[in-house]
Chain A
Amino acid sequence: MVAEFGHIALILALALALVQGILPLIGAARGIPAWMALAPTAAMGQAVLVAFAFGCLTYAYVTSDFSVLNVAENSHTLKPMLYKVSGVWGNHEGSLLLWILILVIFGAAVAVFGRNLPATLKARVLSIQGLIGVGFLAFILFTSNPFARILPPPLEGRGLNPLLQDPGLAFHPPFLYLGYVGFSVAFSFAVAALIEGRVDPAWARWVRPWTLAAWCFLTVGIALGSWWAYYELGWGGWWFWDPVENASFMPWLAGTALLHSAVVVEKRETLKSWTILLAILTFSLSLLGTFLVRSGVINSVHAFATDPTRGVFILIFLGVVVGGSLTLYALRAPVLQAVGVFAPVSREGALVLNNLLLAVATAAVLLGTLYPMAVDALLGAKVSVGPQYFNTVFIPLMTPLLAAMAIGPLLAWKRGDVGAALRRLWPAALATVIALALGLWLLHGRDALALLGLALGAWLGIGTLCEWALRIKLFAAPLSETLNRARHLPRAAWGMTVAHLGMALMVLGITVSSVWQVEVQQVMKPGDIARVGPVEYRFLGVQPVRGPNYTAQQGRFEVIEGGEVARVMTPAQRRYQQPPMETTEAAIRPSPVADLYAVVGEGDAARGWAVRLYWKPLVSWIWLGALIMCFGGLLSLSDRRHRVGAPARKRIAASAAAAE
């Protein structure tokens, strides 16, 4: 029964989404307040219905109700509870339901927090949100019903892919979706603004918090996915330029550009139509990403069943959303008039540079990701684009971006002075010179890219701190004044400093871990010692162990640091019973200085075991940097000026004053 209730709830949600998508839009155009007022109620009703349906599916998973086809195909009674729950979104139908759940939660959040939005704008935003919901609910109901029954019900389920049975991955899709779907709000605001034909600083202030929130979630989601690849796939790599990763990276790049261009709209009332375009593109890339990954076009652990009707539906939906919004953009964007004048050397100029570089980077990733699919579809030839392409393109694009990231915040709005900014950045220049000298000495000048990475990391990190120190007059004024200034520094400024510092840490982590990493692959017998960088691994042998739903061959290594046994590491090869599959479990000792990473492969007592051992300096800074970036975003989100509604009050007061 529970499954049927869930199904009915989804049908009702679709009906409600249709109401929400059509009536308020007409109401806003014709000026019918009652129809506009339907939007928030419908949005909240939809959230309740979809949450109920999601609860029903979760219930079926938790109670292992194998009469539901989706549960029978993806769950198993022996699976630990965490993975029974995460199994809900570990498959095509369930992951779509999660997508919709997050979409309607965002819709309800706009309805609740957007109390102070102008009535027509709010009605239109929620209407667009409703229309997106219609598309997804129709998709799930007509092609991917998660509540379909199976007769007769099997006694046992087929189980979840063991690679996905992992705490990091249990939470990776929800965060990624919170990011993807969060950009739908920016998209709805953009389309609503196009319909209204007006974009002003208040609009930018309303869009910014939603974009920031989505960006924070997406940052964490991508970092979790990368961290999972690092410890679960057993290759020690953390980014492979795999189409699935690119699918999530493109909206991140575009979203980062959007975040910065919205600042220009807010402060300078210019770049309006570009910002609208970015909002449309960011969400379109999110949709493209979801569909690329879920439709089975890309083959990977993420791709679930392929079905031609789904593919066609997806293509049509993508066409309607992207084509429709871009057509509207082409028709209405000329209406948006820039107010502020524009000087190339200024804060806004630096932000335009940021946008240009990020846009080119996004386009490059898009080309590398879609080209093989296009060639396959049109010519039937199988081609792939090597990771080298992305590295070759990214390094020259990111170099000016990172260099300008330190300078931009020191430029004034309207008209900046690069010379003065550079003079104030002398500590950063000094740090760069020291980093270069250090790199030259350690590497004997062999690796130009490593030197570049070190220099950029130092420049950006110290440069960001310089800007912050100048703002609070550190060492230039009495300590009490400095503290007072720090206390009154807007949270948004703190957020920028923290996020840019996170980026600097990530650059250093990427550079140092890829240049100084030591990797040893060899065959070892019990008692053998392998030297890996500054540590030694002593192999003790392999023994069988049992887990809840797998058996494993577990290797044991003693790690010898400075002549003493520092710890024992136990990598394993697991063999899962249901579905039958083997996975490699790397043993990792994470640390801020250097990760130790050990993998044991095939072998036997006579010939020894194949092992792979690493010493990875600063590799954890990559994810630490991502978390710090996200924290910066959250700080900025907590800024009083970004609280939804605050700008509205100010505007009402201002217009009231003007009327007097």
Chain B
Amino acid sequence: MRDVPMRRGMKRKHKRLLAVLGLVAGLGVAAALVLTAFNDNLVFFHSPSDVAEKKIAADKRFRIGGLVEAGSVKKDGLTTEFVVTDLRHAVPVVYTGMLPDLFREGQGVVANGKLDAEGRFIASEVLAKHDENYMPPEVADALKKSGQWHEKPGDHAKLKPGS
């Protein structure tokens, strides 16, 4: 008679062990899931100089940023071609869709997409959500690296022809 409660106790212990194991397994799966997804979705930022210097594989998604080169914007229906420059190197960009309100020649821009076989950047998203005196920090950094940064932000507007 005495071993009945003991066995019940063991059973409860087993149950608890199972619950703990299940919990640990669940957390492990969750962590694995999070880290895998994380690794797959890291998007790096490269300046046009980076693109020129490093070999970035076509089909690798990344973000590019710099200034929209003055006089480079060509529109055909909804497709826009323009050149992003850090004033040392330049990369042609193709984007189909409506451009953001603050997209302008001579202004900072960040685009998300990948390079095609001809070295053109096919953008799936173009961001320029800043005011006229403001630079996206990535773009400011890219300009600093290429040695073309001017302290007064307004100076970049002077790069436009005729102004």
Contact = CB atoms under 8 A, between A and B. Distances in A.
Interface of A: 161, 234, 299-301, 344, 356, 360, 363-364, 367-368, 371, 381-386, 388-389, 392-393, 396-397, 521-523, 573, 579-584, 599, 601-602, 610, 612
Contacts of B99: 601-602
Interface in B9-54: 15-16, 19, 23, 26-27, 30, 33-34, 37-38, 40-45
B161 interface: no
A396 B33 contact: yes
Greatest chain B CB density within 10 A among A384, A599, A610 is at: A384
B45 A384 contact: yes
Contact of B98 (A301, A367, A383, A612): A612
A356 B23 contact: yes
Contacts, number: 89
Given A385-B38, A389-B40, A583-B101, 16 more contacts: A234-B101, A301-B129, A344-B19, A356-B27, A368-B38, A385-B41, A385-B42, A386-B61, A389-B38, A397-B30, A521-B78, A522-B77, A522-B78, A523-B77, A582-B102, A610-B78
A582 B37 contact: no
Interface stretch (B85-93, B115-123, B135-143): B135-143
Contact of A393 (B37, B42, B97): B37
Nearest to B104: A582
B26 A356 contact: yes
A233 B34 CA distance: 30
A367 B132 contact: no
A635 B16 CA distance: 37
Given A384-B63, A393-B33, A580-B132, A573 B101 contact: yes
Contacts of A579: 131-132
A388 B98 contact: no
A601 B37 contact: no
Contact of B37 (A161, A392, A581): A392
Contacts of B78: 521-523, 610
Given A582-B102, A599-B98, A610-B78, A385 B33 contact: no
B43 A386 contact: yes
A610 B16 CA distance: 63
Contacts of B23: 356
The size class of the interface chain B forms with chain A is 20 to 34
Q: Taking chain B's interface residues, is the majority helix, strand, or loop, or is none over half, making it mixed? A: mixed
Contacts of A388: 37, 40-41
**Nearest 8 CB-CB pairings of A with B:** A382-B45, A389-B41, A392-B37, A344-B19, A386-B41, A582-B101, A601-B98, A360-B30
A582 B99 CA distance: 12
A368 B27 CA distance: 18
Interface in B91-116: 97-99, 101-102
A149 B50 CA distance: 46
Contacts of B30: 360, 396-397
A343 B124 CA distance: 51
A581 B27 CA distance: 48
A382 B141 contact: yes
A66 B16 CA distance: 68
A383 B132 contact: no
Contact of B44 (A299, A360, A381, A397): A381
B132 A382 contact: no
B37 A389 contact: yes
A360 B136 contact: no
A384 B125 CA distance: 14
B26 A382 contact: no
Contacts of B37: 388-389, 392-393
A638 to B, nearest CB: 36
Contact of A392 (B41, B45, B101, B102): B41
Nearest to B46: A382
A367 B131 contact: no
A573 B100 CA distance: 11
Contacts of A367: 34, 38
B95 to A, nearest CB: 12
A521 B129 contact: no
A382 B63 CA distance: 9
A160 to B, nearest CB: 12
8 contacts: A356-B26, A381-B44, A382-B44, A383-B42, A384-B63, A389-B38, A396-B30, A583-B101
A332 to B, nearest CB: 25
A601 B97 CA distance: 10
Nearest to A360: B30
B41 A581 contact: no
A384 B99 CA distance: 21
B129 A383 contact: no
A299 B137 contact: yes
